[in-house]
Structure formats: structure tokens, C-alpha cells
């Protein structure tokens, strides 16, 4: 029997999946690129005239009366809030996630599976449900305020819901498993004899953590950070529910352009900027992890 080449069979068998992804995801992205260079229609949609106005409007605004150009402060505020909250979310999930992953990885093998399962349940639970749950916690009569009043830290409930803090708490909560899982994978492969060697050579605990553990599990740290940062930056559900109408992030701002804003080209341009930031982060990730592969090849 004539054996077909692996490449031909490979492509042939992958074709249905590729067609599906092309129609349902990849192809429409190309249309977004086109729309970002058109003029907005009066009510919705676009007018088929080439224009770079949408890109201009992302960063600048024209005064309606005298046509002077100024920075679009509202847009920049939204960008800054998105980046800031995403970075903070990444940081918080790391600070809580690293000890958690370490704890799971150092359990006896039989217990480990159970702890891991406990992390995966929230991970696979509907994001909307988890956001609802956290909403109940941060509301005025919620768990968090009740707890703080019980301990006497505050005298009256704090308004947390519909603030940036609520969005931050919510995102840290929903994305924590995304940080713990890759960290666990990295720590699980870690050779604990190296720590022993470090102590034998009179290194302090902090030194062992900083000079032995952290460098070796770095690919896991980078992977976890990317997995948290990317969806945080594009978050839509969490800021919409916990941030209310005012505390928008890029995702909500994009949606606004396709709803009340009625400016599809601007929405398309904003989507492409978001995509671009994500791609830069992913390329940085590939760079960092492939470098690590070369350097820590033996471990």
C-alpha cells in the first residue's frame, strides 16, 4: 500500500477544524481590520469610505466648535485603568498563588490530587456565577463589610461595589486558578534536592527562595502571569457587573461602540489595539520561555 506523506495526511485531517476556525473566528478578524478603516454609519454599521478617523479618535478628540485637537482623556483613562487593574490582578494572584501552588506541590501524592481538584472546580465554574458570588461578598451588606464591621476595623459599610477595588477583587478572585495551575506544574517538576544543597551551602531561606527556587520555576511564573494578564486586559463580564456603568475597562468600552456609541470603526480600532497588546505579551512569553529552555536545559 502506498503510504501518504505525514504532511499531506496531517493537513487533510486538520482541514475541517481549520475551516471551522476560519469561519467562526479567524476570518471575521480580517473583517475587523477592514472596518477599522471605514467611516461610521449614522445609526450603526459603516459607510464604505476609507478613513483613518477611527484611529485618530482613539487617542485624540476634536472640539466640536473650533476644531482644536486635544488628547482623548476619557479614552486614555480607560486604557490606563485596564492596564493598571490587569497588572495589579497579576501581582495579587501571584502573591497568593505562589504559596498556594507550593503548598499543593509539597503535599503527599495522594492528597495532592484532591487539592488540585479543589483548585480546578472554581476554574471550570462559570465566570458569571463566580462574579455573582463575589458581588454578594463586596456589596454593602455583604460578607466582606460584615466581617470588617465585626472586627471593628470600620464603623459603617464601605462602598466597595461599583468601584475599581471591586473590579480588582473580582478579577483576582476569578483568575487566581489560572495563576496557580501553571505555577503548580512548574513547582511539581522542581527537584527539591537543590534546596537541600542550598541549605548545605549555608544559604538562608530568603536566599534559597530568591536564588534557587524562583529562577527555576520562572517559566511557570511567566506562564501564569500571561494567563492572568491577557484575560484581565480583555475582561468584560467582571468589570461590567462589579464596576457598574462608570468604571469601564477596554472590553466594555469596545462593546459601547457597538451599542449606544454607534461607532463601529472606533470599536474595531480599539479591538485591534487590544489584540496587538495581547500579541506583544504572547511573543514576549514565547521569547522568555524559549530562552529559559536553553539556559536551564539540565534541570
- The residues in 125-154 that bind another protein, with binding defined as CB under 8 A, are 125-130, 132-137, 139, 141-143
Which range binds another protein by CB under 8 A, 52-60, 76-84, 158-166, 225-233?
225-233
Residue whose C-alpha cell is 473590579: 167
Asked if residue 189 binds another protein (CB under 8 A), the reply is no
Q: 51 to 80, contacts with another protein by CB under 8 A?
A: none
Asked if residue 37 binds another protein (CB under 8 A), the reply is no
DSSP assigned state of 44: S
Looking at the Cβ atoms of 72 and 133, the one nearer to another protein is: 133
Looking at the Cβ atoms of 136 and 296, the one nearer to another protein is: 136
Asked if residue 251 binds another protein (CB under 8 A), the reply is yes
Which range binds another protein by CB under 8 A, 47-55, 64-72, 114-122, 157-165?
114-122
Shortest distance (Å) from residue 286 CB to another protein: 11
Query: Total residues contacting another protein (rule CB under 8 A)?
Result: 91
Asked if residue 111 binds another protein (CB under 8 A), the reply is no
* CB-based contact 61:263 (threshold 8 Å): no
Shortest distance (Å) from residue 63 CB to another protein: 29
Asked if residue 21 binds another protein (CB under 8 A), the reply is yes
Shortest distance (Å) from residue 39 CB to another protein: 15
Amino acid at each position: 500500500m502506498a503510504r501518504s506523506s505525514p504532511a499531506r495526511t496531517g493537513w487533510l485531517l486538520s482541514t475541517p477544524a481549520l475551516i471551522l476556525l476560519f469561519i467562526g473566528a479567524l476570518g471575521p478578524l480580517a473583517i475587523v481590520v477592514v472596518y477599522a478603516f471605514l467611516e461610521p454609519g449614522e445609526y450603526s454599521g459603516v459607510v464604505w469610505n476609507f478613513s483613518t478617523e477611527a484611529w485618530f479618535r482613539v487617542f485624540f478628540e476634536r472640539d466640536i466648535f473650533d476644531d482644536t485637537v486635544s488628547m482623548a482623556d476619557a479614552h486614555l483613562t480607560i486604557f490606563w485603568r485596564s492596564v493598571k487593574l490587569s497588572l495589579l490582578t497579576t501581582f495579587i494572584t501571584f502573591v497568593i498563588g505562589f504559596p498556594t501552588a507550593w503548598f499543593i506541590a509539597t503535599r503527599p501524592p495522594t492528597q495532592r490530587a484532591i487539592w488540585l481538584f479543589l483548585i480546578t472546580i472554581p476554574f471550570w465554574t462559570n465566570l458569571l456565577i463566580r462574579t455573582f458570588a463575589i458581588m454578594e461578598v463586596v456589596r454593602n451588606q455583604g460578607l466582606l463589610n460584615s466581617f470588617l464591621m465585626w472586627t471593628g476595623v470600620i464603623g459603617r459599610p464601605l462602598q466597595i461595589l461599583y468601584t475599581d477595588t471591586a473590579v480588582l477583587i473580582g478579577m483576582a478572585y476569578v483568575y487566581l486558578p489560572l495563576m496557580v495551575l501553571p505555577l503548580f506544574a512548574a513547582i511539581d517538576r522542581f527537584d527539591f534536592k537543590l534546596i537541600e544543597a542550598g541549605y548545605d551551602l549555608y544559604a538562608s531561606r530568603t536566599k534559597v527562595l530568591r536564588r534557587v527556587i524562583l529562577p527555576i520555576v520562572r517559566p511557570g511564573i511567566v506562564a501564569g502571569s500571561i494567563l492572568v494578564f491577557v484575560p484581565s486586559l480583555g475582561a468584560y463580564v467582571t468589570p461590567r457587573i462589579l464596576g457598574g456603568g462608570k468604571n469601564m475597562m477596554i472590553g466594555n468600552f469596545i462593546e459601547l461602540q457597538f451599542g449606544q456609541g454607534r461607532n463601529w470603526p472606533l470599536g474595531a480600532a480599539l479591538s485591534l489595539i487590544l489584540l496587538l497588546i495581547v500579541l506583544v505579551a504572547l511573543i514576549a512569553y514565547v521569547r522568555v520561555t524559549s530562552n529559559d529552555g536553553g539556559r536551564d536545559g539540565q534541570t
